[in-house]
């Protein structure tokens, strides 16, 4: 999923895993950010009864419908793995999942936590008409598990705060990312494109 954050002078979004999304919602809301999430795949895929049998939905399917579908399929399984809880929180935030490639909104910063999604975002943006509005795409690799989600939420919040406090993000970002990479001991990818 991709989360869009609004902060004075900066508009950006973040791609996050389901396990990371609500850690970020919590941390960013405490800092005064508003968060909106997007997906980047062709469909919404949620874990199923077996790894090779995910629950697949179209973007735009209401969270209420997804919740009811999983409730009917296996209430115990989807309660135990946290999907029903996650969907309950999702449906209080917005009506349905949204796809990044379908949005016409422009951002000046895009953060992802998985290289595959970083590549998808770049591919999507390169396929659009290029103008003169710069957008920085940044990836911090974060594994999709609870411990990493908590650590990742702190890292993302730190990075967002640094960027939001920059008077000239376009000129500051390279040095900022080098310093942050050294601090967090994780490889960081960065690309500049234009809308």
Residue 5 has pLDDT above 60, yes or no: no
- The CATH number of whichever domain residue 170 belongs to comes to 3.40.50.2300
Residue 28 has pLDDT above 90, yes or no: no
Rounded CA-CA distance 13/123 in Å is 16
Q: Which of 93, 126, 153 is the last residue of a domain?
A: 93
Radius of gyration for the chain, computed over Cα atoms and rounded to the nearest angstrom? 17
Same domain flag for 58 and 151: no
Same domain flag for 33 and 110: yes
Picking from 14-18, 40-44, 104-108, 178-182, which range would have the lowest pLDDT averaged per residue?
14-18
Taking CA atoms, 171 is separated from 83, 177, 180, 192, in Å, by: 41, 11, 15, 12
Same domain flag for 148 and 115: yes
Same domain flag for 54 and 37: no
Count H helices, E strands: the chain?
6, 8
Same domain flag for 50 and 142: no
Taking CA atoms, 112 is separated from 2, 68, 95, in Å, by: 7, 30, 23
* Domains held by the chain: number: 2
Q: Which of 93, 112, 132 is the last residue of a domain?
A: 93
Question: Of how many residues is the chain composed?
Answer: 195
What pLDDT shows up at residue 36?
Answer: 65
What pLDDT shows up at residue 9?
Answer: 42
H-state helical runs in the chain: 18-30, 63-80, 83-93, 115-126, 146-164, 169-184
Q: Which of 58, 93, 128 is the last residue of a domain?
A: 93
What pLDDT shows up at residue 1?
Answer: 47
pLDDT in tens, 148-157: 777 887 888 8
Same domain flag for 73 and 34: no
Same domain flag for 84 and 161: no
Buried (b) or exposed (e) across 100-134, using 16+ Cβ within 10 A?
Answer: bbeeeeebbbbbbbbeebbbbbbeebeeeeeeeee
Of 32, 40, 39, 38, the closest CA to residue 6 belongs to 32
Residue 151's domain comprises 2-41+99-194
Rounded CA-CA distance 52/32 in Å is 39
Same domain flag for 28 and 107: yes
What pLDDT shows up at residue 26?
Answer: 65
Same domain flag for 11 and 70: no
pLDDT-based confidence at residue 108 (cuts at 50, 70, 90): confident
Under 8 Å between Cβ of 61 and 44: yes
What pLDDT shows up at residue 66?
Answer: 97
Same domain flag for 82 and 147: no
Give the chain's mean pLDDT. 83
Tell me the three state secondary structure of residue 174: helix
pLDDT in tens, 33-80: 666 678 888 999 998 999 899 999 999 999 999 999 999 999 999 999
DSSP state of 32: T
Same domain flag for 73 and 154: no
Same domain flag for 75 and 147: no
What pLDDT shows up at residue 50?
Answer: 92
pLDDT in tens, 137-182: 999 988 776 677 778 878 888 888 888 788 888 899 999 999 999 9
Distance of CA 90 to the CA centre of its chain: 14
């Amino acid at each position: 999923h991709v989360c869009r954050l609004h902060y004075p002078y900066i508009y950006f979004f973040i791609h996050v895993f389901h396990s990371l999304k609500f850690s970020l919602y919590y941390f960013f809301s405490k800092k005064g950010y508003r968060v909106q999430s997007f997906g980047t795949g062709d469909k919404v895929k949620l874990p199923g009864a077996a790894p090779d049998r995910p629950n697949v939905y179209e973007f735009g399917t209401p969270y209420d419908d997804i919740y009811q579908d999983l409730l009917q399929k296996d209430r115990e399984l989807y309660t135990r793995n946290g999907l029903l809880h996650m969907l309950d929180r999702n449906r209080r935030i917005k009506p349905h999942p949204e796809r990044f490639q379908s949005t016409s909104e422009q951002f000046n910063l895009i953060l992802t936590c998985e290289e595959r999604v970083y590549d998808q975002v770049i591919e999507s943006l390169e396929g659009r008409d290029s103008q003169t509005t710069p957008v920085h795409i940044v990836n911090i690799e974060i594994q999709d598990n609870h411990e990493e989600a908590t650590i990742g939420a702190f890292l993302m919040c730190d990075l967002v705060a640094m960027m939001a406090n920059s008077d000239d993000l376009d000129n500051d970002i390279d040095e900022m990312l080098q310093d942050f990479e050294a601090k967090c001991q994780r490889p960081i990818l960065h690309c500049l494109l234009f809308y």
